[in-house]
Structure 1
Amino acid sequence: MHGTQGTPVEITSNFIRLEFKEKCVFEYEVRFEPTQDYKHLRFKLLNEHAHYFENKTFDGTTLYVPHMLPDEALNLVSTNPYDESKVNITIAFRRPRLLSEMIHLYNVLFKSIMKDLEMVRFGRQSYNPRSAIQIPQHKLEVWPGYVTAVDEYEGGLMLTLDSTHRVLRTQTVLTFIKDAYLVMLVPELCQLTGLTDEQRNDFRLMKDVATFTRISPNQRHAAFKQVSWGLSIAKETIDLTARTLPAEQLLFGNNVKVNGKPSAEWNNEVTRNAVMSAVDILRWVVLYVDRDAMKQPEMIKLPNDKTESYVSSIKDAIKADSNLQLVVTICPTSRDDRYAAIKKVCCAQYPVPSQVRAITQKILLQINCKLGGTLWHINIPFKSMTLWYSRVVIQQKGQEISDGLQTCFVEALLHFSNMNGKFPDKIIVYRYDFLIASQKVTQGTVTPTHYVVIYDDNDMPPDHCQRMTYKMCHLYYNWPGTVRVPAPCQYAHKLAFLIGQSVRQKPADVLCDKLYFL
C-alpha cells in the first residue's frame, strides 16, 4: 500500500475476488464471407452449429472454447435467416491462453451472464426491468442495474461491481401521434425516454427520484450480494484499510486561519472573512438597455456594517429630502435584525417605499477571481501554487491530444520562467495509483477519484503526493469546499466547456494569468 499518513479506517470496496482453477482456453478468430456487419446476426449464424460449441464465449469476432475444435468445425456454412443466402464461416486458431490472462474473456462472459439473467443493456450498464420502481406521481419508473468490469490488480483478478439506475418516463405519446399524424402506434412502442429540462428543474420530482437512485453504502453493498452469478466467485466484497487525512487549515486575509471541518466546506467562513488578495475595481462599465434607464441616484457610503449606521443614514437622507421617493439599501449579507430595523424606519417612523437587497457576495468573490485575486490559501510549501495560468488550443477533428498538450505545456513553462526568473525545479505528473474521496456527501455514496502517477523523477514520497493532491482539491474558488478532482483539473474542465460551447475561438493571451472563465 502506498502511503502511511492519516488515521486508519476500515472500509469495504466494490471489488470481488475471482476464484478460479488455472487451466487453458483456446482462442479462435471467426470470419464471415460475405462480411456480416450486424453483430446480432453473427451470433445467429454461429449458433446454427452449436453442437461444436457447447461451452463457448463469443464477442462477435473472437471465440473462446475450453477445448481444441475438430477440423470439421473450422469451415462452416450457415443460412442467413433474412434472405436465405449462404454465409461461409472460417474459424482460425490463434493461440492457447491461460485463464489468468483472459481479462477480455471475463468481461465478455459477464455480459453474457447479464443477458442470461434477462437484464436489459444500455451502454455499459445492465438493468433489471422486473425490479422497476414506480414513481406514479411523476409518471416515472426507475430501473435498478449493475455495472461490471474485470481487471488485474495488485491483489489478483478482481470483478468491479457497482449498482446504477436508469430513470424512464411512463408517459405515452400514443395520443399525440394519433392526433398530429393520424397514425396509430402499438402502445408498447410509445414510451418517452429520458427527462425533460422541466422535469430536471423540478426539485420535488428530482428529490423523489433521488430516493431510489442515491443509495447509501450499506444499500449498495447489499445490492452486490443479491446477484446470483452462477460462477465461483468470492461471496463478500474485499475489505480494505483506508486512511483519513487530517483536515486542512484555510488561510484568509488579515492573517485569519480557519481549521477545516469534517463537512469539508467553508461557505460561512468565506463570506465572513477578508479574501487573501483583493483586486480594486477602478475602471468598469455597466451595460443596460434604454428602457432600463433612470436618473443617477444619490450614493451614501456607510462607515461600517452596523445596523445603527443603516438606520441613522436612512433617517438623515429622508430628513434632507422631503420628496424622496425610494430608499434602496444594499447589504453585504442577509440578516433578519437589520432588515427589520430598516423596514421599521421606512414603514412607520419615516414612511417611504424601501427595497432591501442582500448582495450576492459570491458574485463579488467570483469577480475578484476573474480579475486575478485570490480568495484563500492552504498550507502548501510552494506559496505560488495558487497562481494560475491557462492556455487554449483549438484542435481539429481526429488530431492527437498530445499535439495541443505540448503547446500548452511549453507556454506554461515560459510563463513560469517570466514570473519567477527561472524554470520550475519540479514538475509533478501522476504515476503509481491511489484513490482519494475528497468530498463529503449527504446523500448516496461518495465516488472516489482514481489518480495514476505516470512519471516521477523527484523521489517524492507517496504521502507527500497524496497530501498535495488532497490540498489541491481545496483550491477551486467557485465552490467553498473540496471538489472531486484537484483544482487545476476542474479549472481546465471549466475553461474547455466555456470555449467549446460559447467562445469557439482561442481567447486573448492577456487573460491567460486570470481565472476569467469562472
Structure 2
Amino acid sequence: MSFGRGQLGRGLLIGLAKESDTSNPSAAAQQPSIGRARSTAAPQEAGVSAAATPGPAAPAFGRGISAFGRGAVPQPSGDSAATSGAVPSAASTFGRGFGRGGVPPAAAAATAALPEAMSRMSVQGAPTQHPAAAAARPERTRRPQIGRVGPEDKTGKTGQRVTVGTNFLRVEGADTMVYQYSITFNPSVDSRMQRDRLVLSIQDPEFQKIPGRVPSGNSLYTNRPLPRESAVYQAASGNMRVAVQLQLVGTATLSSLPSVYNIIFRSIQARMDLIEVRRHYYNPHAGERVPGHQMEVWPGYITSVSHVDGGLRLMIESSHRVVRSQTVYDLFQSVGTSLSNMTDAIVGTSVVTRYNNKIMRVDQVETSMDCTHTFERNGTQMSFLDYYRQAYNIEIQDPQQPLLISRSKPVRGKDGKTLEQRQICLVPELCYVTGLTDAMRRDFRLMRDLAKFTKLSPDRRLMELRKFVQTINNRPECRQLLDAWGLRLLEEPEVVPARRFVNERVLFGGGGRGPFAPVPVGQTSEFKRALADNRVLIDGKLLKWLVVYPAREERTIASFCETMMKKCRAMGITVAQPSTVALPNDSTDLNLVCAVFTSQREERYNCAAPSWWSPASACGPRLSATPRRWAAWPSTLPPRLTSSSAAPCGASKFPTIDS
C-alpha cells in the first residue's frame, strides 16, 4: 500500500518504517529513501477512521485510486510475497504513493504491519509517533509580529502645543430630499449664466411656491417636488423670451450629492451681488484703489463644501482680482492703432464693462466695425451710439473706434453638432483691462504695493470669514435659501490643535570654526541671505566657464565676473577668470548656428549641443571628414532649410527660410 502527501499518509508510513527499523536492523540498512514523504509529523487532528483490512477490494483514497494510479503498488512475486505477508494485487493507495511508484521490497515488512497499526486508530486519536522521528523534526520558527499603526500614532510630540484657527466653517442641517429636473430651452441658450437667470425669472405661481430653487446649467435642484413631473414655463430676461421645459430626473438625499452643496453656496454668492469670474466670485462694490497706480483690487472668495472628519465643512479662501483704471481705448492710444499692435495688446485678456460689471474675454479686434455700425433690436436697426445712449445713458466720445469681439464657448446640441457661437461686440472706450502684464510683474514697487491688499494677515483673514457669514445672515434672500434647505452656517471658524516647531538650523561649512557651522533661520525658515555669508559643506571649484555678452556691456560683465569670484571665494568655492566672447549685438535674428568639430567624439558633440538639439535632426554630417566632404555639405543645406518637414539643425526656435 502507498501513502500520499497528506498528513495521514506521511505520519503512518514514517512511523511504521521506524518501528520496522528497530525490529529488523538488516532490513533498515537496505531500505531506500522515502520519496517526497519526508515530514515526520503525526496527525493529531486526523478525524478519519483508518481501521480497514486490506483485501482484493480495499477502498482507495486520494489520486492513486487503483493499481494504475501514481501510487500503485507493484505486486510482489516469489519468496518476497511469502515473506511480506501476501500483499494483495489490488491494494488501495493513498495519494501519490510511497516514493511515487510503489513500495520497494525492503519496505514490505513495514507494509505488513499496516493492519495492526490502523486498527489502533480511532476518530479521536492517531498512531503514536516514534521518538526518533520527533527528535528529527525541525522546529518551526515564528514570524515576528508587526504592530499596526493606529490613529493614536499620528499625534506628534515635537514642539509646543498650540490651538490654531482654520478657514473652515461648520455647516449644520438636516438631510433633506433633493429633486433633480432636466432643463430644455426653446430656443436654445448658450450662456450658462443666462440659462440660470432665465430659470430664476419664471413667474409661474406653482414654481414660485418652491423656496429652494437652485439652477445649474441644464439641471434644476429643488427641495420640494413640482406639481407635475413634466411642465413647460415661460421665462423672460430683458428682451429674450424662452420656453423652459422641466422634466423630473430622479430624487436622492442631500448627503448623497455633495456637489449640490457647492451649487447652493454658489447661488448664495450670486444673490450677494458678486460677479462670477472663472467659477469664483468677486465684489466690485468693495474695490480698493492702489495708491500711485492706476488700478484697484476687487476682493473675492473661493468656496468649496465637502465632508471631512467631524461633519460638513465650508472652506473659504480669500481671492483678489486686479482691475486697471485704464480703458482699452487708452491702451490702444499708447501702443499704436495698427491692427497688429492692438491685437498683441488686448486679444486673449479679460476686460470688465463698468456699466453692468461683467467680465469678458477679448477674442478679436474688428477694425471693419465701429460705433456707427447698426444691428437689429426689437425689429428696428439701431447703432451702438444710440443703444448705449438709451440703455445706459452713456455718450461715446469717439464713434470711429474699432469694436472688440467676445465669443461664447462652443456648445454642442442634442444632435451632436456644434451650435453657432454667440458674438458680443464691445466698445473699447467702455471696457477696462484686468490682470497684470509681464512688465507689471517685474515692477518691484507695484508688486510691493499690491501685496498690501492681496497678502492678508491671519487677523485679516479671520475678519473676512466673519464678514462673509454676516453678509449671508443679513441678506433675507440668502437666509431664505439656507432655511429652505435646512442648513445653518456657524460664524466662528473651526479650531484644531497644532504644534509649533522650534526654529530650524541649517548646517554650513565651519571653515576654521569646526566641521559644521549651524545657522538659525528664524520663524520664516528663510536662509537666502545666510548662503552668501557662510561657507559650503564641501569646497567646490569652477575653473572653466564661458561668458557670452553684447560688446556694449563689457564694463558691466567685468564687474559681474569680479563680484562672482569674490562672493564665491567667501563661500569656499574657487572661481577662475572666465573666457569671454563679445557679440556685436544681442539680436536673435539668426537662421543657422553652425558648430564645427575636428573629431568624431560623441561626448564633445553632446556637450556643445543645446537640450533642444538632437543628432537625428541635425541638418548635415558632422565635419569630421575630409575637406572634400566639407565642400559638398553646404550644397545640401538650402533644400533642408526650405523643407517644411525638417527644422534647421533641429532648432525649432529658429525661423524657417522661405524658398
Question: Residue 485 of structure 1 aligns with which residue?
Answer: none
Cα-to-partner distance string for 1:318-357 (whole Å, 9 max, x where unaligned): xxxxxxxxx999467xxxxxxxxxxxxxxxxxxxxxxxx8
Q: Does 2:526 match 1:265?
A: yes
Residue 538 of structure 2, aligned match among 277, 284, 288: 277
Q: Structure 2: how far apart are the matches of 1:91 and 1:362?
A: 76
C-alpha distance 108-290 of structure 1, shift in aligned 2 (>3 A): closer
Q: Structure 1: how far apart are the matches of 2:429 and 2:552?
A: 53
Paired amino acid for 1:4: G
Shift of 1:266: 2.6
Give matches, 1:114-513, under 5 Å. 114-174=269-329, 180=337, 183-184=400-401, 189-227=430-468, 228-229=471-472, 230=479, 231=482, 232-253=488-509, 255-263=515-523, 264-287=525-548, 330=562, 359=567
For structure 2, list consecutive stretches of 5 or more residues without a partner in the other structure.
Answer: 1-150, 338-366, 368-397, 404-426, 473-478, 483-487, 576-609, 617-659
C-alpha distance 27-146 of structure 1, shift in aligned 2 (>3 A): same
**Partner SS for 1:274:** coil
Question: Residue 96 of structure 1 aligns with which residue?
Answer: 252
Cα-to-partner distance string for 1:232-263 (whole Å, 9 max, x where unaligned): 21120011111123444433335204154323
Question: Residue 76 of structure 1 aligns with which residue?
Answer: 232
Question: Residue 181 of structure 2 aligns with which residue?
Answer: 28
Asked if structure 2 preserves the Cα contact closer than 8 Å seen for 1:28 and 1:95, the reply is no
Shift of 1:366: 13
**Partner SS for 2:255:** helix
Cα-to-partner distance string for 1:78-102 (whole Å, 9 max, x where unaligned): 47879988756251322221x3333
Higher relative contact order (CA 8 A, sep 6+): 1
Q: Structure 2: how far apart are the matches of 1:96 and 1:328?
A: 69
Q: Does 2:161 match 1:8?
A: yes
Paired amino acid for 1:207: R
RMSD, matched Cα:
4.1
Q: Structure 2: how far apart are the matches of 1:210 and 1:225?
A: 22
Q: Structure 1: how far apart are the matches of 2:615 and 2:458?
A: 44
Shift of 1:283: 4.4
Question: Residue 453 of structure 1 aligns with which residue?
Answer: none
Cα-to-partner distance string for 1:397-428 (whole Å, 9 max, x where unaligned): xxxxxxxxxxxxxxxxxxxxxxxxxxxxxxxx
Q: Structure 2: how far apart are the matches of 1:224 and 1:82?
A: 35
Residue 221 of structure 2, aligned match among 53, 64, 80: 64
Asked if structure 2 preserves the Cα contact closer than 8 Å seen for 1:32 and 1:90, the reply is no
Q: Structure 1: how far apart are the matches of 2:451 and 2:270?
A: 27
Asked if structure 2 preserves the Cα contact closer than 8 Å seen for 1:132 and 1:141, the reply is yes
**Partner SS for 2:491:** coil
Paired amino acid for 1:95: T
**Partner SS for 2:319:** strand
Cα-to-partner distance string for 1:442-492 (whole Å, 9 max, x where unaligned): xxxxxxxxxxxxxxxxxxxxxxxxxxxxxxxxxxxxxxxxxxxxxxxxxxx
- Which structure: larger Rg? 2
Shift of 1:222: 0.7
Shift of 1:36: 4.1
Asked if structure 1 preserves the Cα contact closer than 8 Å seen for 2:287 and 2:299, the reply is yes
Shift of 1:18: 0.2
Shift of 1:14: 0.6
C-alpha distance 27-248 of structure 1, shift in aligned 2 (>3 A): same
Q: In percent, how many aligned pairs have the same letter?
A: 29
For structure 1, list consecutive stretches of 5 or more residues without a partner in the other structure.
Answer: 298-326, 333-356, 368-501, 509-518
C-alpha distance 82-45 of structure 1, shift in aligned 2 (>3 A): same
Cα-to-partner distance string for 1:261-281 (whole Å, 9 max, x where unaligned): 323123354334332334434
Paired amino acid for 2:245: I
Q: Structure 2: how far apart are the matches of 1:507 and 1:251?
A: 43
Asked if structure 1 preserves the Cα contact closer than 8 Å seen for 2:305 and 2:315, the reply is yes
TM-score, normalised with respect to structure 1: 0.52
Q: Structure 1: how far apart are the matches of 2:570 and 2:321?
A: 35
Residue 38 of structure 1, aligned match among 177, 185, 191: 191
Q: Structure 2: how far apart are the matches of 1:108 and 1:114?
A: 10
